[in-house]
Structure 1
Amino acid sequence: MIELMIPSRRKDLGGFEVGRVLPWTKRRMVGPFIFFDHMGPVDFPANVSRKTDVRPHPHIGLSTITYLYDGEIVHRDSVGFHQTIRPGEVNWMTAGSGISHSERFDTIREHGGPLHGIQAWVALPESEEETAPSFVHFDAADLPSHSEQGLSVKVIAGSAYGLTSPVQTHSPLFYAHVELAAGRTTEVCGGYSERAIYVAKGSVRINGEQYETGQMAVLSPGAMPAITAIEPAIVMLLGGEALGPRHIWWNFVSSSKERIEQAKSDWRAGRIKLPVGDDQEFIPLPEDPPPPKPEPMS
């Protein structure tokens, strides 16, 4: 019923660490989800260094979903959107043919405070990879939800548990935020060929195995295991239909290696516009890793 477990790996973003789950060497994607980072929980002091901010950087061929449990992030992008991201809201940015954006901690910098959330990337179908860039925001109250004793479900995108999000997606997928009181059980939703359960807080039991914060259980096709909270828990349910292989390099996703090379060239040459209102700095294109050294001859 459980195909494999993916552990999160700590990654330093320069100002704080995240738990990187996808992509992984043994599992690159779950449905169209190709990237999954768990941010925090972390408490920032007032006047936290601007090194913590994520400076302007580019994307192609994907949609990003920033979803917070706690804290605030200020988003600016090259389409012209300026949006403060708060807990429980949906902030869905489609890069398509190319976009740049920044993620800054302006509010937290002023007062200090916590940050906890998930950033996920969804690959676009080949026919939509060059779609026009866009950004949509939905307040928490706009998202369909269901609550009963010891259980709450919010559908961020797609359809799950009989609820359908207003977020327009480019391929069949689902993404849901589920909270369980200790001892409460719920069944994972079906209807998609690829699905996973990520433990964002607490610990749960799935198919007799215990899963802790920072672990993702990838389900076998058709599996419908129960999720039981050992302690109060937050789990994220995600998946959808596979799109086929994708290449990923830095912040670029594409079905074509040549398109990624073009995006690298475009960013290096300044052909991708910087965010409106945040165009005084940017993250330079990383260098390609050096080729492996040849083995010495015996």
Structure 2
Amino acid sequence: MLDIVIDAREAAISEAVRVKRILPFRQRRMVGPFIFMDHAGPISEAPPQLGSLDVLPHPHIGLSTVSYLFGGQVTHRDSLGVEQIIRPGEVNWMTAGSGIAHSERFEDPAALAGGLEMIQTWVALPEKDEESNPSFNNYKPEQLPIFTDTGVWMRLIAGNAYGLRNEVPTASPLFYMHVVLQSGAHFGLPKEHSERGFYIVKGSVDVAGVTYRPGQMLVFNRGVDPLIKAKEDTTLMMLGGEPVGERFIWWNFVSSRRERIEQAKEDWKQGRIILPPNDNHDFIPLPKDNSKPAGGPPRPEPLS
């Protein structure tokens, strides 16, 4: 049966960018190892100050960030010296591990012409990998397998599902997919994983006689195989996997240990997490407790 329906809430990630925040949700903190999900855009007009869209350098620990675009482009820069423009259909997979800082800049006004739209998720790392060395990889569309059937198109972003696999390395069992359904198409969730759900980017679907619309995530109980019917042309992001255990999250930090969150706070305040060498003239300072900082929830909370 359907476990929960999550309605996205509005949040700010920069001066000019408001997002739909799906995870974490108070009644459902994670789906498999996925601990965070934001949907930005579409934004089709540049603000008077293009830089107001930018997300300044900020830190992460204990997770992988996964960025995926439907439209526009974003420039990623990080502590490793990586500078990478991500375009639609590509995947930016950054593993923070013991600590990394990165920025997301919107530097080309022409890239907004078709509408900037992006999904970013965070994947919590298993305990044994929480202090791994930071890394970054960009994957092109041709590296991500596509499956088509009558009225169905889907791209596997990471993991395995429906017999598909790709070379995007993951630290724990999971799946993450971009799915496009034509009106009237029927579809089912993959059965390989114990926790599964999908987020409606656009369009609408019918599940067990109930209509669900954009901005909603549906999460299903273990062993349930719902029939998903597209009521119109619809775009979904499907995700899930195996749980990795309880996690704490504060701002951009994720860990299985509350004290590690406190250490990360101090590391950022003291400059021990270095800034991107090619984007180090400004950054987001550590927010005060109980504030609502860009990029994450306001205070540490256990996730399960």
| Match runs of 1:87-236 below 5 Å | 87-108=88-109, 113-236=114-237
Q: Is the alpha carbon distance of 1:55 and 1:109 closer, same or farther for their aligned partners in structure 2, counting shifts above 3 Å? A: farther
Q: Give the structure 1 partner of residue 83 of structure 2.
A: 82
Contact 2:50 2:107 survives alignment (8 Å): no
Q: Distance in 1 between matches of 2:72 and 2:135?
A: 24
Q: Which runs of 5+ in 1 are unaligned?
A: 291-298
Contact 2:189 2:196 survives alignment (8 Å): no
Identity of aligned residues (%): 52
Q: Give the structure 2 partner of residue 5 of structure 1.
A: 5
Q: Is the alpha carbon distance of 1:212 and 1:111 closer, same or farther for their aligned partners in structure 2, counting shifts above 3 Å? A: closer
The CA deviation string for residues 233-271 of structure 1, in whole angstroms up to 9 with x for no partner, is 001110001111100000000001111101000100111
Deviates more, 1:108-117 or 1:198-207: 108-117
Deviation, structure 1 residue 195: 0.7
Q: Distance in 1 between matches of 2:87 and 2:18?
A: 20
Q: Distance in 2 between matches of 1:31 and 1:43?
A: 33
Partner AA of 1:121 in structure 2: W
Q: Which runs of 5+ in 2 are unaligned?
A: 292-304
Q: Distance in 1 between matches of 2:273 and 2:110?
A: 28
Partner AA of 2:153 in structure 1: S
Contact 1:71 1:108 survives alignment (8 Å): no
Q: Distance in 2 between matches of 1:10 and 1:284?
A: 22
Q: Distance in 2 between matches of 1:206 and 1:85?
A: 34
Contact 1:58 1:100 survives alignment (8 Å): yes
The CA deviation string for residues 23-47 of structure 1, in whole angstroms up to 9 with x for no partner, is 0110100010000001111213276
Q: Is the alpha carbon distance of 1:149 and 1:134 closer, same or farther for their aligned partners in structure 2, counting shifts above 3 Å? A: same
Secondary structure of the residue that 2:205 maps to in structure 1?
A: strand
Deviation, structure 1 residue 104: 0.4
Q: Distance in 2 between matches of 1:262 and 1:218?
A: 33
The CA deviation string for residues 136-182 of structure 1, in whole angstroms up to 9 with x for no partner, is 11101110111233210110000011110210000000001110001
Q: Distance in 2 between matches of 1:31 and 1:20?
A: 17
Contact 2:39 2:119 survives alignment (8 Å): yes
- Choose 1 or 2 for highest CA Rg: 1
Deviation, structure 1 residue 112: 5.0
Secondary structure of the residue that 2:286 maps to in structure 1?
A: coil
TM value normalised by structure 1: 0.94
Q: Give the structure 2 partner of residue 19 of structure 1.
A: 20
Contact 1:175 1:237 survives alignment (8 Å): yes
Contact 1:46 1:113 survives alignment (8 Å): no
Q: Distance in 2 between matches of 1:228 and 1:175?
A: 20
Q: Distance in 2 between matches of 1:279 and 1:109?
A: 25
Q: Distance in 1 between matches of 2:51 and 2:231?
A: 39
Contact 1:48 1:109 survives alignment (8 Å): no
Q: Distance in 2 between matches of 1:238 and 1:111?
A: 27
Deviation, structure 1 residue 191: 1.3
Deviates more, 1:44-53 or 1:117-126: 44-53
Deviates more, 1:207-216 or 1:116-125: 207-216
Partner AA of 2:189 in structure 1: V
Deviation, structure 1 residue 48: 4.0
Q: Distance in 2 between matches of 1:108 and 1:169?
A: 34
Give RMSD over aligned pairs.
1.4
TM value normalised by structure 2: 0.92
Q: Is the alpha carbon distance of 1:179 and 1:111 closer, same or farther for their aligned partners in structure 2, counting shifts above 3 Å? A: closer
Deviation, structure 1 residue 125: 0.3
Partner AA of 1:165 in structure 2: N
Q: Is the alpha carbon distance of 1:62 and 1:111 closer, same or farther for their aligned partners in structure 2, counting shifts above 3 Å? A: closer
Q: Distance in 2 between matches of 1:235 and 1:17?
A: 20
Contact 1:61 1:124 survives alignment (8 Å): yes
Q: Is the alpha carbon distance of 1:112 and 1:47 closer, same or farther for their aligned partners in structure 2, counting shifts above 3 Å? A: farther
Partner AA of 2:186 in structure 1: T
Paired residues, what number? 290
Partner AA of 1:6 in structure 2: I
